[in-house]
Structure 1
């Protein structure tokens, strides 16, 4: 039987995309895509070391947003969540965490206190519950000073899940807690429980026909008439009634009555009003069902309540999500319809065809019951209670077709707002979070959904865990693993033109004819000047567009473009909508795409490769959306054989500032270089001048030495001029005691001065007969001198002797090389 059902399902799925595409818009494209870096007016809150900001509770009266996270509870400012936060740290004790680890749970992800329930209890306190390292606990929070009354910890069994990954839902009605969760550590005892308050504790039976491995997602209270107040629970569970496959998961809606106190003998402390039905989100005439409900949002009050559910399915390798809308009247009709029963003889489920007891099983105690003597469920007869125990499942299904179906996306959370428009009534706006961290904003138009935009909420991929709408602040709050985000419900400033504002079909926004801008409807002083068309009549939008509400297309100034032949040309045409189609005209004729000419959707540009003279001319880009066509860009393209010498005037104007910056910079560099050259030139002249003055001394090896005031063994030449005072101290020394050096005054054997052409280069032999001057000096004499001065030493070839050798040793000891600068060498 299971194989036959599988083949049937595959056959159905094979025809989905071909047959249903005519009546259902599969995978609609969001009109706008806004990436994370382009989000405006976004505010966020997070605290280092805290994760899983998943439980959100609004307190519109006190302007507070309460957030339950992992081992922390926050009170945030609703106006700006990033400011003035308060913190309660509620950690599981180390011994509880140790026990959790010993029981085999993960110390990195499970053995913490995850806050799973946080709601207002009364005017002064809130009630909160946490997993408490797989030992759930509950307590009260004082709103006056925002502190946890940790001395009043209550057992959280049945109020909060043990496992932070398990589904859970709950709400407080008149100081009574209604919760749906698992009642034990192993997660094998599902329960819908009522605790706290004046009534006795109530819960469901532990029978598979009541709850069978459920995954709870939502609950809501609906006020009725004459005591017919009910709490509705939404969950998925493993079906027991399907003949095809009893392992299949289906979506459910269940009810219990607020005034239910159980039976007297049968169903003691158990719900006598518990009923459940299958919640079907399916495609008409195709028997294709979205079986797993992920989240439910209730819109409206009382009998006018509408439920919006998001569903997930997987068809082959494709993840598919859908949105279905259910009316409370349809749910009530199913609960008032036939029951389903398990037939022992046939071992299968079918419709109950026998007589239904009176009072009707599953009913609340209403005015009719009171008039007939049943003032409480304790007074219901056993026949009614036994039937209710064995027949919790209804035979009919609450069935609706999807409003929206999206492929390759997993919807996680949904919130809905009802918005009044200018003159076309009210519309329901959906905010849908995804597992990849995106938010879809959509509007229901008739029986379809138009996705206004998609927003990337996070820089890194993470699921949207919770959504809350503040009607007083006109703000959407998003809870995630990393923090809380605050977004405006309306951002009309992103629509910069009439056609963009009108074609967006955003109920929050309208075009102001007087101010010539897109404005938020509910914050505008008058709606008389506003233009809005959610139904999107193309003819009407086109007429309004051509009535000069915006500058007409023929006034759009063309952009001049010059391109070199043989290169590639890219002409951008930025389309503000993903739904718009582009059309290009070349010289007022439709542009034919060919090899080397194509439209790049990623660049939003027309690309022409290997441009030639035939591509020169006038290009126009048109955008067409919903039957409205208008010009987006105009270009005048010129093709030249080579790079032009003179740039276009417009280009010169754009680059004039850059040119002046370059000219000034180069001028400053040139001045610096010129100054450096002049300085070096002056220094070089000074050095060359010194070199010219020293040329007469280049033939002399000069060392700084000490000499006596008068040379020893000095014998004046007979041929010397009597007036010559060469060896006179006055002529021989300067006033500071330095020896005067007179080139060419060395004495020859004949008493005459040495020839100026004598070889005086160090290390070269002198002419024969050349003598030292002064005669026969020794190193010892030099060292013994008490004065400092300079003397020219001409080393001959014959009389170098001991002095020459001693002098070389002294030079070597002083690390003075023979080719060193004579003026800087010393002995």
Structure 2
């Protein structure tokens, strides 16, 4: 059971985090929670190519733009794909590299999972020299490495990989080969600590573990080489940067922060110390990367991916980091941008020192030859040409002070992008030029569920152009590389690799849609949205990345907007659909040129993501409705409707003088059909619809009692007339029985006909989307569009001498074939009904198979149940509105 104090603390942390997240829409950082402008599912992708071999878990990518090749490392296989189109394969595009059966058995004896761990996962793949590649795999918990002949694409030689590749496919790992030297960082052994190593050539180097451990359960996500020796005024050395998340050993105001993000730096020319730090890095330093929202004290501690882009000079380089929250049950991501100059300033600052098991800023004297720095002209002037020439005092200080006191803050002091409910796993950045002559950075971010977010950095914020679903189902994006030459980004996941074009300008079909996208690679040429790279002369290209609303003419003209007509009966609800393709657009509606203000039940309107709902339509709501998509301050017409509200006319049919001429459907319609009123008075109780008068056996019983009474009177009158009375009685009974059968089949006795002159009358109306509908008293609805079905309560007054009122002058469509059923409904009723607002039904579909619809039978069964309940009730002589 959780300790009460711990439980209270956890609850407080979660509450503060939740309040911080929920406060975003109302706080001053509203722009951080960025919404992608458009959402594109797998079926809507344009120009994508796919590769899926026999293997799974495509995690390692090596892009060689010059050779036009993409090398892919998967589980127990390596592939060589054509960059132009990865779907086109050749004979020697794959090599199998599986662990042996004996090795897999040994893996099982170590207690490993034979479904996920006892395989050979390719973790490292890089160019070794001009003719060969070098690769390493976990090899069922016994790492192996191999050389590959790039031209023939075949294995040449295998070797031990325990010092170069992790044993566990789930462990964080990063590495690269440069100038024939291999550098890697991971946890290599089962019981060993994480380590940053130079694997070859000799001498091999690694990090220190005692007396001060330099790395604390580090999880590596990326690395890079920056050649800071080029044009250096101090004769500096190249630097290697490693990015990771590790256990927090510092004092923190938030005890819940158990992990922190770091960047570590070593010198490429480091070869270790002579006596102190032998075969250890003498230049190792690390500092904390901060990515937080200060006003909410929200810290993003988990580093998931990094991307470094060099500037005009190496010191102008910039790198981006994707961060997540430490709590795994809360999904959120932040992208922070850092300057290399800020990183260098922190590494030139004060050190931290471990005192009494706590890290504090060191305030003592620092050696003249700054510990952790690379060999420069200052060192060479003192005859220190390599790290082995460094004094022991400098090396001892470097051994005990690996951590810097200052923290590396992001550019602007806050995240460049914040995204709720998303876990970004990879990031890649590309610098492009736009029509306005400016350079923009485009960000490509992969998620943990198989989506790719394409964004552009505009000033100090990010605009997400679109989100693309690259894989069916939920698949983590494992890796991502960009080819400027091919104009594609290559994304790998568990099931395969997808080649996605950097831009899909053809998706934007109008000028304003092209401009609103704010894609630096797309522009409007007057007819279509095109890639600007294919136009040498860009003077006639319309593009507005900065504002996203300038350059197009007649944005408010609705010449290309579809127009539709709706006819609706008064009191009905009608939905005017208006689908917006942009997630950033807001719907605005006008009626006869006037903007509709105030939405709600009192105003008679209600808006939603799919359109405008007119509630209880009235004649004043007839007119011309227009729907606009308002984006970046521009009103763009989307849909146009002409709505006509028709008055409700209650038809009162005349009862014929001969009751036998009444059609059976009249009685079943008026007495059986259930109606829900729109409003019910509270002063009086609801009354059930009048039930039918007694008929059939009950009617015959009454007649027999009358006959017995007459017989008794005849006997008392005289025995002499018995025979005559009996004969008259038999004759009269025969006549009465025939008449009773004749009227009882209609559920009505002859005397009851005159009592039914004033009965409740129900009228069934069908409202069409495109044409006017009309219904008669039998409940037959005729409509060509069939959107709404209404049952209108009313009170009919019929007499044998009165004529029914004329029907409204509406066009009558051709009659549909009708077959009456036992419940009084005709076969032309819709097959699918859904109740709306109490007194109307939405017609969802009407076809030729109404009798087979399960919803139709459930509807008629409901009517029969209601009818059975009301069979034994009595008529109201003069029912009011509440009785129906």
Q: Which TM class, normalised by the smaller chain length?
A: 0.7 to 0.9
Judge conservation of contact 2:107–2:118 (CA < 8 Å) in 1: yes
Show the counterpart of 1:31.
37
1:71-82 equivalences under 5 Å are 71-82=76-87
Task: Determine whether 1:96 maps to 2:103.
Answer: yes
- Of residues 458, 473, 477, the one that matches 1:460 is 473
Provide the C-alpha distance between the structure 1 equivalents of 2:180 and 2:581, rounded to a whole number of angstroms.
Answer: 51
Residue in 2 aligned with 1:475?
488
1:147 aligns with 2:154: yes
C-alpha displacement of 1:307: 1.0
Which one of the candidate residues 185, 192, 212 is aligned to 2:196?
A: 192
**Aligned match of 2:529 in 501, 518, 521?**
518
Give unmatched runs, 5+ long, in structure 2.
Answer: 230-234, 649-764, 773-783, 786-813, 815-884
Equivalent in 203, 207, 211 of residue 206 of structure 2: 203
* Residue 159 of structure 1: how far off its partner (Å): 1.1
Distance 1:247 1:476 in 2: 35
Q: Is the 8 A contact 1:427 1:443 kept in 2?
A: yes
Task: Tell me the residue number matched to 2:290.
Answer: 280
Q: Given the alignment of the two structures, is residue 305 of structure 1 paired with residue 317 of structure 2, yes or no?
A: yes
Aligned to 1:234: 243
Q: How does 1:677-692 map to 2 (within 5 A)?
A: none
What is the aligned partner in structure 1 of residue 578 from structure 2? 573
Which deviations, in whole Å up to 9, do the C-alpha atoms of 1:756-812 show, x marking residues without a partner?
xxxxxxxxxxxxxxxxxxxxxxxxxxxxxxxxxxxxxxxxxxxxxxxxxxxxxxxxx
Indicate conservation of the 8 Å contact 1:300/1:306, yes or no. Answer: yes
Taking a change above 3 Å as real, the CA distance of residues 646 and 351 of structure 1, as seen in their structure-2 partners, is closer
Q: Does 1:43 align with 2:49?
A: yes
Contact 1:478-1:486 within 8 A present in 2 as well: yes
CA shift, 1:9, in A, is 6.0
> Quick check: 1:341 aligned with 2:353?
yes
1:439 equivalenced with 2:446 (yes/no): no
SS across alignment from 1:460: coil
Shift, 1:227, TM fit: 4.4
- Cα distance in 2 for partners of 1:111, 1:525 equals 55
Instruction: Tell me what 1:213 maps to.
Output: 217
- For residues 37 and 46 of structure 1, the distance between their equivalents in structure 2, rounded to whole angstroms, comes to 18
Residues 15 and 127 (structure 1 numbering): CA distance in 2 closer, same or farther, change over 3 Å? closer
**Conservation of the 8 A alpha-carbon contact between 2:565 and 2:769:** no
Find the aligned partners of 1:452 and 1:23 in 2 and give their Cα distance: 20
Name 1:84's counterpart in structure 2: 89
Spell out the pairing of 1:608-757 with structure 2 (5 A cutoff): 608=614, 611=617, 613-640=619-646
Equivalent position SS for 1:583? strand
The aligned counterpart of 1:251 is 261
Measured after TM superposition, the shift of residue 257 of structure 1 is 0.6
Residue 771 of structure 1: aligned partner? none
Once the two structures are overlaid, the 10-residue window that deviates more, 626-635 or 56-65, is: 626-635
* 1:29 Cα offset (Å): 1.4
Distance 1:320 1:639, change over 3 A: same
**Cα distance in 2 for residues equivalent to 1:382 and 1:647:** 91
- Which SS does the other structure have where 1:399 is aligned? coil
Structure 2 SS opposite 1:28 = coil
Whole-Å separation in 2 of the counterparts to 1:336 and 1:246? 30
Contact 1:55 1:116 in 2 (8 A): yes
Task: Report the CA distance shift for 1:135/1:426 in structure 2 as closer, same or farther (over 3 A).
Answer: same
Structure 1 gaps of 5+ residues are 656-662, 664-827
Q: In the alignment, is residue 392 of structure 1 matched against residue 399 of structure 2?
A: no
* Displacement of 1:15: 5.1
Aligned 8 A contact 1:437 1:461 in 2 = yes
Residues 109 and 600 of structure 1: CA distance in aligned 2, closer, same or farther (over 3 Å): farther
Whether 2:613 is the aligned partner of 1:607: answer yes
Q: 1:96 to 1:11 in 2, by over 3 A?
A: closer
When structure 1 is superposed on structure 2, of 489-498 and 633-642 the one drifting more is 633-642
**1:222 maps onto 2:235 in alignment:** no
Tell me by how many angstroms 1:610 deviates. Answer: 5.1
Query: In the superposition, relative to structure 1, how do residues 317 and 270 fare at CA in structure 2: closer, same or farther (>3 Å)?
Result: closer
Q: How does 1:317-328 map to 2 (within 5 A)?
A: 318-328=330-340
Residues 117-136 of structure 1 aligned to structure 2 (within 5 Å): 117-136=124-143
Change in CA separation of 1:598 and 1:524 when aligned onto 2, cut-off 3 Å: farther
CA separation in 2, counterparts of 1:525 and 1:576? 31
CA distance in 2, matches of 1:437, 1:557: 35
Inter-CA distance 128–34: structure 2 relative to 1 (3 Å threshold): same
In structure 2, do the counterparts of structure 1 residues 24 and 264 end up closer, same or farther at CA, with 3 Å as the change threshold?
farther
Residue-by-residue CA offset, 1:123-158 (whole Å, 9 max, x unaligned): 100000000110101111001100012xx3222123
- Report if the CA contact (8 A) 1:191-1:206 is conserved: no
Question: 1:623-643: per-residue Cα shift (whole Å, max 9, x none)?
Answer: 211111232222222345667
Aligned to 2:546: 535
Q: Secondary structure at the match of 2:379?
A: helix
Distance 2:561 2:22 in 1: 42
Change in 2 beyond 3 A, CA 1:537/1:62: closer
Deviation at 1:601, TM superposition (A): 3.8
For 1:88 and 1:644, how far apart are their aligned partners in 2?
Answer: 66
Structure 1 counterpart of 2:601, from 595, 615, 640: 595
What is the Cα deviation at residue 196 of structure 1? 2.0
Deviations 1:289-344 (A, max 9, x none): 11110111111252222111000105695322100011111111111111000113
Q: Per the alignment, do residues 322 and 570 of structure 1 end up closer, same or farther by CA in structure 2, a change over 3 Å counting?
A: same
Instruction: Name the CA distance, whole Å, in 2 between partners of 1:327 and 1:5.
Output: 36
TM-score with structure 1 length normalisation? Answer: 0.73
Equivalent residue of 1:383, what SS?
A: helix
Which residue does the alignment assign to 2:180?
175
Deviation at 1:68, TM superposition (A): 0.2
Distance change (3 Å), C-alpha of 1:298 and 1:100: same
Q: Structure 2 CA distance, aligned partners of 1:247 and 1:26?
A: 23
**Using the alignment, how far apart are the partners of 1:233 and 1:601 within structure 2?**
49
Q: Which has the larger radius of gyration?
A: 1
1:366 aligns with 2:372: no
8 Å CA contact 1:134, 1:185 repeated in 2? no
> How far did 1:26 drift?
4.1
Deviations 1:584-614 (A, max 9, x none): 1112223353439555645x22233554544
What's the CA shift for 1:582?
0.9
Q: Determine if the alignment matches structure 1 residue 350 to structure 2 residue 360.
A: yes
The alignment status of 1:502 with 2:507, answered yes or no, reads: no
Residues 1:531 and 1:216: Cα distance change in structure 2 (over 3 Å): same
Q: Kindly state the Cα deviation for residue 472 of structure 1 after the two structures are TM-superposed.
A: 0.4
**Mapped partners of 1:554, 1:457: distance in 2:** 35
RMSD: 2.9
> Do the aligned partners of residues 403 and 254 (structure 1) sit closer, same or farther apart at CA in structure 2, a change above 3 Å counting?
same
Alignment check: 8 A CA contact 2:124 2:136 kept: yes
2:675 corresponding residue in structure 1: none
Give 1:535 deviation, angstroms: 1.4
Bigger Cα displacement from structure 2, 1-10 vs 95-104 = 1-10
SS at match of 1:139: strand
Q: Give the match's secondary structure for 2:342.
A: helix
SS state of the match for residue 242, structure 1?
A: coil
Secondary structure (helix, strand or coil) at the match of 1:153 reads strand
More displaced, 607-616 or 440-449? 607-616
Classify the secondary structure of the residue corresponding to 1:532. coil
Change (3 A) 1:537 1:98: closer
CA shift for structure 1 position 536: 0.5
